Chains A and B, each alone.
Chain A
Amino acid sequence: MSWTRRFRGLFRHDALDAEAAEEIRTHLDMRIADLMAEGLSPAEARLRALRAFGNRAALQEDMRAADTFQTVASVLRDVRYGLRQFRRNPLFTAVAMLTLLLGIGATSLVFSIVDTVLVRPLPFPQSNRLMFIEEVRHHPGTVVDAASYPDFFDIRDRTRTFASVASYHGGHVTFSSGDTPVSVASQAVSADFFRVLGVKPALGRDFTRADERAGRHVAVISDAFWRRRLHADPTAVGRSILIAGQQTTILGVMPASFDFPVNSDTEVWLTFAADAEGNHPLTAQRGVGLLNVIGRLRDDVAPSQAQADLDVIAQDTRTRTASDDHGFRLTPELQKLTDPIRQPLLILLAAVGLLLLIACANVANLLLARASARSREIAVRVSMGAGRQRIARQLVTESIVLWLVSGVAGLLAAGLAERFLIALTQHTVPRIAALHLDATVVVVTLGTALVTGIVFGLAPVLPVLRVDALASLKQEGRSGTAGRGHRRFREALITAQMAVALVLLVGAGLLATSYWRLLHADPGFHTRGLLTFRVEPSVSVKPHQTQVWHRLLDIVATTPGVAHSAAVFPLPFGGHDISSEFEIPGRGLSPDRLPLAQIYVSTPGYFATAGVALREGRDFRVSDDLSGPGVAIVNDAFVKQYFPHDRALGRTVVPNISSGSPEPLVRTIVGVVGDTKLASLSEEPKPSIFVPFDQLNGLPLHFVVETSVPAESLVATLRQRVASVDPQAPIYQVATVEELVSRTLAEPRFQMILLVAFAVCALLLTAIGLYGVTSYSAAQRTREVGVRMALGASRRDVLRMVLMSGARLAVIGAAVGLAGSLLVTRSLHALLYGVTPLDPLTFAAMTLLLAATATIASYVPARRASRIDPAEALRLE
């Protein structure tokens, strides 16, 4: 037989089968003829010939095996057979596929998030060599801080383990072209910034050390800036534009793909030349932690060696500055970037894995039910000579086909869901915008489908391997039973499902409770009816700039539609954070172990406008400036920690912040206000010191405006009025306080929604599974029910009997699930606000929910069983 025929055999086995059958027939005929010639009767001759041949079906299969690439052929045949089976049972197929699609699709989606966000390398050459460097102090508590310029210079000059290091810190600069100034996101970077990342400008060049010098005004711009603001001017490099009131030369344009810091939407990169200006420049102040520092390790250096190198540099700094608490910490850049989201994502991945297990168990249960319905068919095939192995393989192939088809559908569904998910999370999850189905996701998804398909697809095979062909056939007309072991297995599956579902429910319940508490958490200020925005005066020289600020404050306050207005920095939920060491005179605090407090600067009327409670004393006044005595206002948390027993009012504090004079100002506490949250609703209030704007040097301001008209209509008016004071001052970061607060809820909302969705799916699937198992065992006990009823059992007895069989499983499942929940919910600890991981109320409520669902799921089949006509049930036999 030729190769082509052999290949044809793969698909056209019918013809080959016919040939084999004929060959066997010929042989039998010849034998029969010979035996008859020996004197046997035709019947006897036939019997002996046949007996000599043994199992003909098996023989024919063996011959076919010799004729074709048997494995491939039989797999193809099994696949075709399986597909035919699925077509014959569209309802079964639809339910099974939808269940698997849900499980595999959700897994695929969460996996692709984890892969995109946590695993995929950063889009820079050899990005695993990029390390983030932070400053660490251990007194009074461990504080991880941004580095100062002198620290950065120390590292840059002395390192032996980094190929290059760079600093960067973000802000906004005003870009003026024509009449309307705009504020764009900017970064002040050191010369090697782009070289550390390993990316070159698409046009022009990047920075050199000479560009770092005070007085140099050069910029590298983003592709977006180039296209949108310069209309993709091909001669942009070398062109001079007005940035922060300075004629600035464009050195280069970055490629469109360049996005660093990730998700920052930076449009302009400047050198830190501006920070080097003046008599007392930032670049010389070791006390100001401002910089992000990133370094690229040399190829032959391990991170631990680089850490040792940094330790030596820090030791040297400690010696020179006579400070005993100063060090550096190294973190791989990818890890630094993804740290906050890592745990939530891994929890979601675990949760979706549980959901997948439930879905698979459900389908395994369905397959088992169907296998027992097919046990007669299988018994017939066994008795006809089909090997059990062969049938087992057939069934597993069917399962795998089911899982793989669902896996492909799940992939497509995940692809569709991605866009929705990106929209939901793009502001909270770094790198999520790059989410797409890539080869890794496809391979992992289909691999998961294949493995779960093999494992759970084995379920229907177990009873087959035990099917007693004769016994099964003897039960003429009765639906096949695969015995008690079979039922036990199904019950174990559904019990495990309920346990897993309860774990998911408890987790989701905790997150939902936590989210609800967050929504109702008191931030310490009003969130309704408040508009905030920033203005950047075009003059940066003092005291001229201060005068501009006052005129701006006045003109905003007198704008029609503005009920109250004031300004503050940092604005709660505005993304900034300032803290400073401070001293309380008379407390004898050691100079290098000073405590830290949150620092705010505010203008008179801020507390009233924002709705911050004034506990005692007074707000700042217009007269609280540098000509008067230093004043400060502290919050409840500050009083609680530092003046727990005596009045704070009238005492003095000395925060180490610049007020224009060389020595920090001694400030008398004139008021105490309620605590306000700064960055998230879940944070603990921190001790805070407010100082009046006129007694602090060099901080910007956020306007806070209580409006009596819709905010949108007000913004245009405000723009005009601000322009009348300073035509080159843009209004930017316009948002309502409500929006700002709500943005911080996006991440917990995303976690909560996904986990709740998984838990609801798990509960539904479990209910369907329990319904299936209870109906099945009720149907199997039809005869028993008939007998019981004939012997006088009431319908209520039957109802109770079936309900109890479901309840028994539910109780075991719930017990195991509760134990499991107790073990795993503590991993949620960091995500919870206002609720403990072992919250008894949530545990109880979710157990009840599961119990109620289980009751409903077993009530329907129980009712059906109780309506059985005993006469008919008995006649079934």
Chain B
Amino acid sequence: MRNTLMATRDRLLGTLDLLVLKCLARVGDMHGYGIVNWIQQASEDLLHVEEGSLYPALHRIEQAGWIASEWKATATMRRARVYRLTAAGRRQLQREQESWSRVARGVAAVLKQGNAR
């Protein structure tokens, strides 16, 4: 099953932020294209980030001060906008990771209950 992360404000928006922060924490500085690819690989091809959601999200997270960006040359000598996790971003990742785990545990606990007949 493939899930497309949509920028539906009430559902998975926060999840996308979490994934972006995690990606930058894990692999270091990265441009948008790289982030899309990493999330796809790391999720074992289960999660596909829509570009239409990613870039507005990146710009919004940058506004929040959790990541910073600059134009850099890539390994293939292209000019690209590269994002980097800030100290505030690292703390935010910590918080979001914890709350996500709690939610996931909670949801799992609920789903474990048997259905009425």
Contact = CB atoms under 8 A, between A and B. Distances in A.
A associates with B:
yes
B79 A26 contact: yes
Interface stretch (A57-65, A127-135, A674-682): A57-65
A440 to B, nearest CB: 42
Contacts of A66: 56-57, 59-60, 63
Contact of A54 (B33, B52, B78): B52
Nearest to B59: A66
B55 interface: yes
Given A20-B55, A53-B51, A54-B52, A26 B60 contact: no
B51 A52 contact: yes
**Interface residues of A: mostly helix, strand, loop or mixed?**
helix
Contacts of A59: 51-52, 55-56
B61 to A, nearest CB: 9
Contacts, number: 61
Contacts of B80: 23, 26, 30
A781 interface: no
Interface string B57-90: 1011011000000000000101111000000000
A30 B78 contact: yes
Interface string B22-55: 0000000001110000000000000000111001
Contacts of B57: 66
Contact of A53 (B52, B76, B79, B81): B52
B52 A6 contact: no
Given A6-B63, A63-B56, A67-B59, A23 B51 contact: no
Nearest to A24: B55
Given A23-B32, A66-B59, A67-B59, A29 B78 contact: yes
A65 B56 contact: yes
Interface residues of B, number: 18
A65 B79 CA distance: 24
A27 B33 contact: yes
A2 to B, nearest CB: 10
Interface string A13-35: 00000011011101101110100
**Interface residues of B: mostly helix, strand, loop or mixed?**
helix
Contacts of B81: 19, 22-23, 26
A1 B32 CA distance: 17
Nearest to B7: A62
Interface string B77-111: 01111000000000000000000000000000000
Contacts of B52: 53-55, 58-59, 62
Nearest to A65: B56
B54 to A, nearest CB: 9
A54 B63 contact: no
A23 B81 CA distance: 6
A210 B33 CA distance: 99
Contacts of B63: 1, 6, 66-67
A23 B34 CA distance: 13
B89 to A, nearest CB: 14
B25 to A, nearest CB: 21
A5 B62 CA distance: 13
Nearest to A49: B51
A116 B23 CA distance: 68
Contact of B50 (A1, A22, A23, A54): A54
A26 B77 CA distance: 12
Interface string A744-770: 000000000000000000000000000
Nearest to A6: B63
Nearest to B48: A52
A642 to B, nearest CB: 88
A844 to B, nearest CB: 64
A433 B57 CA distance: 62
Contacts of A23: 32, 55, 80-81
B33 A26 contact: yes
A26 B31 contact: yes
Given A1-B63, A67-B63, A27 B56 contact: no
Contact of B78 (A6, A20, A26, A67): A26
Contacts of A65: 56
B17 to A, nearest CB: 12
A760 B81 CA distance: 65
A27 B32 contact: yes
A6 B62 CA distance: 12
Contacts of A33: 76
Most buried by B among A23, A24, A33, A58: A23
A66 B50 CA distance: 17
Interface in A113-159: none
A402 B25 CA distance: 52
A31 B33 contact: yes
Interface of A: 1, 6, 19-20, 22-24, 26-27, 29-31, 33, 52-55, 58-59, 62-63, 65-67
Given A52-B50, A63-B59, A66-B56, 14 more contacts: A1-B62, A23-B32, A23-B55, A24-B55, A26-B78, A26-B79, A27-B33, A29-B78, A52-B51, A59-B51, A59-B55, A62-B52, A65-B56, A66-B60
13 contacts: A19-B81, A23-B32, A24-B51, A26-B33, A26-B78, A26-B79, A26-B81, A27-B55, A31-B33, A53-B51, A65-B56, A66-B56, A67-B59
